[in-house]
Structure 1
Amino acid sequence: MDAGRRISYILSDKTSKQKKTKNISYIEFERNNEQNIMVSLSGHILGADFPEEFKDWVKSDLDKLIDSNIIYKVTNQRAYSALKSFSGIDNIIIATDYDREGELIGVEALKFIEPGYTNIRRAKFSALTSQEVKDAFDNLLDVNYGLADSAKAREEIDLLWGAVLTRFFSVTSNRLWKDFISVGRVQTPTLALIVEREEEIKSFVPEKYFVINVTFNKGIDFQGVYEKNIKDEDEANKIFNAINGNDGIVKSYKNEKKEVYKPPPFSTTDFLREASRIGVTPSNAMKIAEKLYMSGLISYPRTDNTVYQRSIPLKSIAQKFEGTEFDTEAKMVLGQEKIYPSRGKVETTDHPPIYPVSYPKKALTGAYKNIYELIVRRFLATLYKNAVIEKSDADIDIKGYNFKVSGEKIIDNGWFDIYKYRKLRESKLPELVIGETVKGKKWDMEEKYTEPPKRYDVASLLKLMESLNLGTKSTRHDIIQKLNDRNFATGNPLRPTPLGIGFIKSITTIDSDIAKPDMTAELEKEMDKIAENQKKLDDVVNDSRNMLHSALKGFRGNKEEIKETITSYANKGDSIGTCPLDGGEISLVKFRNFSKIKCSTEGCKINFNLNATGLVQMTDKRCDVCSLPIIKIIRKGQSPEYRCVDPNCEYNRKKLSVGKCPSDDGDLIIRQSRYGKRFLGCSNYPKCTVTYPLPQKGVIMPTGEICRYCGAPLLIMVNGKRKWKFCPNMKCEYNRKDKVEKSESENK
């Protein structure tokens, strides 16, 4: 049920009717003795574009493109026709999502309804529940035209920056059609953060240092660490020789109870970060959250707010989970003498934090179940008590050298009992007495090296983008997804591709502001001022046009340098390690239909084509057989495949083999065709041409059994909850005469 149908269903007390006239669908219902018509818009009715004369990327004058009038075309013909078809309207109520985009969509609709109406109102709600929707329609607001204009400004500015700079960089580097270079106002500085971190990692020089540890014992073992990391090896040896074999004397000891505060309510960014940690990508998590909202299960999922409004019936919502799979957790919350919800640092008035509003009548499955459970557990955790730990700290002296000792003991697990995604960890420390001697049991000196900064994973990048005001709660997850889709960055943690590095380097060598978060953040503030009616839409857009003219002028003066930088990096490949044969650099070079692994040393035998389709990602692992890098290949509908970069390595043969070929003594190996289809082929190809087709989705496992009819190895196929045994020879009698085997042992 879409939002329009759900709203009309609620307002009509379940008597609304779906109607169709001249291929125009709408919903009709009666409320308060008035006839109502509900039109579902399903997104923008108008799309921003440039005049037809600027259609050609190569021939268009980019300065004229910057100054051209942006035109709007109807992109939602169904909604347009519906709005134009009605007459005799007394009142108009906009009930789109209450945010910038929703306000703009509603204002767009007004352009196509009979002109002259002034009785236009706005319904604001944050959950598709009966109470919220009815309250919203009983307490209508005015339309916020400033909010709509801020969304329109963002649309026009993003179109200008994206179109002009995408054309410039794509044409300059001769990368057109599918290989074009996408430039975005928010996307580009976000990519620059990833590239900058990669440069920090590559330029990082590890520094050696020494750590001295002592294991003490007083009933239980506990560890002390010398208070400093020591860079000088002679000094480290001197200290170690002095303390080795000696007991310690307790110089200070304190322990105190501390609260571990419960988490704040979910904002969109916090929600997406937590979803990423349970294996759901931000883009998928947002799609799922939107569907849960449309189903009336959670509140509106696009919000910066981390403080529950007093009007939200927190206790009543918690009671909805009694008698469900969350019964224990709900009773824990409701059993408290008083419920004190946690508060975050951001409080807004547009929408509340994300919270559950009802329990599903039909059981959810897969990622939908996981995301809903995450939201429910976070909500209940914000209402439960803080955890309590006892933290102990001590200083122990050995021969004048101070060793730090600490421990934590869980007193009350508190909200951790509800929010299963995090755990408290204990490190027990016995009760110590100042002045007492504690026995030394083991003395160690360890040589270590400083480590480079970590790459950003999706969760940490979302947090960084929020702190830098890059993008909005509604767009950040899409920006990260676009970097992946457009071959600028891959994996999680995010690693920039050679194209991504080359593109950012071509910009930063000119010292352009478009790769810096400051410019984008400043534009976001300007758009906020439009929403607050402190600035006009046209003024902000024109200021942005002037900035774009200036940026384009700087790039034009460095066209050859830009072309050379992008081309050289794009052709270079992604460094994945050091060659074990000659110390050269091993790179992964991606082409349109295949990838190549090659060593930088001319004549090195490490030069392999990867006929594998799918997304190729690097890992930090090395092959146990030949020491070359292990890569990870991700294909839709299949489990990730890990393989050695050398296609002929024994590692791959053993890992991909499902049994012996019935025609000769070779192994039947899972292979990929050039079109991405997997099949079984003999390892003795081309001498042996035996092949068998395979199902394209699911996990294939060998059984160790031989087909009694044709001699091929029998396999097990697992696809979701289904599991069955089959012979890969599709013409074999086994698949026709023997029924599918689903023994209890296979389904355990």
Structure 2
Amino acid sequence: MNGYISYPRTDNTVYPSSIDVKEIARMLGSSGEYSRMSEAVLAQKKIVASRGKRRSTDHPPIHPTAVAQKANLSSDEWKLYDLIVRRFICTLLPAAKNKIIIATIDINGEPFIANGSNFIEQNWIKFYPYYKRRDVFIPQLKEGQIITVSGKELLDKKTKPPVRYTQGMLVEKMEELGLGTKATRHTIIQNLILRGYVSGNPLQPSEKAIAVVKMLKKHAEKISSPDMTSELEMYMNGIVSGDETKEDVVDRSRKMLSEVMTVLQNEKDEISQEIKKAIREDLVVGKCPGENCDGDLIVRTARKTKKRFIGCNAYPECRTTFSLPQRGLLVTIREECKHCGYPIVKIIYKGRKPWDLCINPDCPGKDEKYKNYNNNK
């Protein structure tokens, strides 16, 4: 960010005394974008910055270090800079005040609850558009007041399952559980994607991933829960603060992992069989479209050329095959093409957007350039 912000890879949420937050707020006031926000901060008799739960001495919380001009940044850079500036300014403003109203209404002996809330003092909220909340209005009521029921509605609803994690939601959950650091969480997720354990966004686990988790929960539950990693992270922070020694932490970690490895070694045959079975299931692309064939299409590797392709598991009775790109991670997603009904696979290249590929070379959804390339190979 061209020196406009401080070092971004930090878990610290407490400003050290070495940072003059008042001077930074005054500096930001020279920009027309943030002058009103700066004035609101400087108008306070005493500036008290909010404090988070995490405090470390390596780097301060992310904050602006210079005034940026919108014309000098790309669209994404400006959005990020604006978020950081507004977040910084808002940590220096008073808390918002919210009025909550809860009314219990008796209708023929049945209690009905109405909840309402509205901000009576917005303070930092009026400068932070990233915070989304609507007021819920309830009129002023008195205890014992008789009110008229204007209508009624009977709703039949079902409990919805929890939504899948997006990458952003997963990062937040990892932070909540104390897994990884700001510098490593995104890398951990990318490694899971590149190794074929999850795909898509929201993220979906592969059969291999489910099998690994099941086996770890069965044979080594300690390392399948976030508790062990959180415990090790706590010990590492203890070394930084001086409450732990490196030697004690290393010895404790070795003992913990040694116990787990002994169990895994003793049960390796069962574990390997279950994971191999799951990997085979991950290779199934979909049903074979061959005439009078009930087989499944699976990802295969040619013995001579070592090239991958898709073939029917009913071979040699069915000789249906489809070619595949030879580079990139291949993930089966069990979805059908909306244009031709053939199976779709996902190809993942590092640093590029995943590619959903219909295996049918003559799919009407593909452009002529792609079809000619396949026909001339």
TM-score range relative to shorter protein? 0.7 to 0.9
1:354 to 55, 62, 73: 62
- The aligned residue for residue 27 of structure 2 is 320
- The aligned residue for residue 567 of structure 1 is 276
- The aligned residue for residue 670 of structure 1 is 367
Q: Is residue 196–residue 331 contact of structure 2 (8 Å, CA) maintained in 1?
A: no
**Alpha-carbon separation, structure 1, partners of 2:11 and 2:59:** 8
Q: Does 1:488 align with 2:197?
A: yes
**Alpha-carbon separation, structure 2, partners of 1:632 and 1:387:** 46
Q: Is residue 615–residue 635 contact of structure 1 (8 Å, CA) maintained in 2?
A: no
Q: Does 1:557 align with 2:254?
A: no
**Alpha-carbon separation, structure 2, partners of 1:534 and 1:558:** 37
What root-mean-square deviation, in Å, do the aligned CA atoms of Structure 1 and Structure 2 show?
4.4
Distance 1:524 1:383, change over 3 A: closer
Distance 1:505 1:415, change over 3 A: same
Query: Offset at 1:537?
Result: 3.7
Query: Offset at 1:422?
Result: 1.7
1:340 to 45, 48, 52: 48
Distance 1:399 1:637, change over 3 A: same
Question: Any residues of structure 2 matched to 1:83-102 within 5 Å, and which?
Answer: none
**Alpha-carbon separation, structure 2, partners of 1:343 and 1:441:** 47
- The aligned residue for residue 4 of structure 2 is 297
- Tell me, what secondary structure is at the counterpart of 2:28? coil
1:443 to 136, 146, 152: 152
**Alpha-carbon separation, structure 2, partners of 1:434 and 1:624:** 59
Distance 1:508 1:597, change over 3 A: farther
- The aligned residue for residue 402 of structure 1 is 111
Query: Offset at 1:568?
Result: 0.6
Q: Is residue 332–residue 384 contact of structure 1 (8 Å, CA) maintained in 2?
A: no
Q: Is residue 329–residue 380 contact of structure 1 (8 Å, CA) maintained in 2?
A: no
**Alpha-carbon separation, structure 1, partners of 2:220 and 2:132:** 45
Give the partner amino acid of 1:336.
A
- The aligned residue for residue 227 of structure 1 is none
- The aligned residue for residue 123 of structure 2 is 414
Distance 1:389 1:513, change over 3 A: closer
Distance 1:597 1:364, change over 3 A: farther
- The aligned residue for residue 316 of structure 2 is none
Q: TM-score, normalised by structure 1?
A: 0.40
Q: Does 1:509 align with 2:206?
A: no
Q: Is residue 670–residue 681 contact of structure 1 (8 Å, CA) maintained in 2?
A: yes
Deviations 1:682-703 (A, max 9, x none): 8xx99xx79xxxxxxxxxxxxx
Q: Figure out how many residues of one structure are paired with residues of the other and give that number.
A: 351
Distance 1:364 1:618, change over 3 A: farther
Deviations 1:379-426 (A, max 9, x none): 112123433443332222221111111223344443233222222212
Distance 1:522 1:426, change over 3 A: closer
Please state which structure has a larger fraction of its residues in strand: 1
Give the partner amino acid of 2:20.
P
1:368 to 74, 77, 84: 77
**Alpha-carbon separation, structure 2, partners of 1:434 and 1:574:** 66
**Alpha-carbon separation, structure 2, partners of 1:595 and 1:404:** 61
**Alpha-carbon separation, structure 2, partners of 1:588 and 1:524:** 44
Give the partner amino acid of 1:503.
V
Q: TM-score, normalised by structure 2?
A: 0.73
**Alpha-carbon separation, structure 1, partners of 2:52 and 2:227:** 25
Query: Offset at 1:575?
Result: 10
Distance 1:322 1:446, change over 3 A: same
Query: Offset at 1:319?
Result: 2.5
Give the percent of matched residue pairs that are identical in Structure 1 and Structure 2: 35
Q: Gaps spanning 5+ residues in structure 2: where? A: 287-295, 302-306, 313-319
Higher alpha-carbon deviation: 460-469 or 568-577: 568-577
